[in-house]
A and B are shown apart, each in its own frame.
Chain A
Amino acid sequence: MGFQKHNDFDDLAGHFVAEAGRSDAGHVMWLNRNITKNKSDRKTLSKLLTEFFSLGSGSLEAWVKRRFIEKFYGPNPHPFVVALQHPSCAVLLGYVVEHQHFLRQWVRSCSYIMARSDEMDVVLYELDNINTEYGGVGTGQPSHYELLLRMGESLGLDRKEVFRMAPLADTREAIRVWDMICRDDHWVEGMAAMHGLELIANRKLKGEGAIIGYFDPVILKNNEISEAAKAFLREGYEADVGHSEEALGLVEKYSGILGNMDDVQATFLRSIDYFDRYLMARLERSRRFESS
Chain B
Amino acid sequence: MFFCCDICAIEFKNMINEVRKRTGWKIIDEIKMTGNYRGRECTALYEGKKYGFNIRFDSKGGIDLFSERA
Q: Interface on A for B, CB 8 Å cutoff? A: 20, 23-26, 28-29, 32-33, 37, 39, 76, 78-79, 276, 280, 284
User: When the two chains form the complex, which single residue of B5, B38, B39, B65 contacts A28, counting CB atoms closer than 8 Å?
Assistant: B5
List A contacts of B39 (CB < 8 A). Answer: 79
Q: In the complex where A25-B59, A26-B59, A29-B59 touch, is A20 in contact with B5 (Cβ < 8 A)?
A: yes
5 A-B pairs (CB sep. < 8 Å): A23-B6, A24-B5, A25-B60, A28-B5, A29-B7
Closest to A276 in B: B38
Q: How far is the CB of A84 from chain B (nearest CB, A)?
A: 15
Q: How far is the CB of B61 from chain A (nearest CB, A)?
A: 7
Q: In the complex where A79-B38, A79-B39, A276-B38 touch, is A25 in contact with B4 (Cβ < 8 A)?
A: no
Q: Interface on B for A, CB 8 Å cutoff? A: 4-7, 36-39, 59-61, 65
List B contacts of A25 (CB < 8 A). Answer: 5-7, 59-61
- The binding surface of chain A is classed by DSSP as helix
Total A-B pairs, Cβ < 8 A: 29
Q: In the complex where A79-B38, A276-B38, A280-B38 touch, is A32 in contact with B60 (Cβ < 8 A)?
A: no
List B contacts of A20 (CB < 8 A). Answer: 5
Docked Cα-Cα span, A278 to B1, in Å, equals: 33
Docked Cα-Cα span, A28 to B60, in Å, equals: 12
Contact between chains at A29 and B37 (CB < 8 Å): yes
Docked Cα-Cα span, A25 to B58, in Å, equals: 10
List A contacts of B36 (CB < 8 A). Answer: 76
List A contacts of B37 (CB < 8 A). Answer: 29, 33
Closest to B6 in A: A23
Docked Cα-Cα span, A224 to B61, in Å, equals: 39
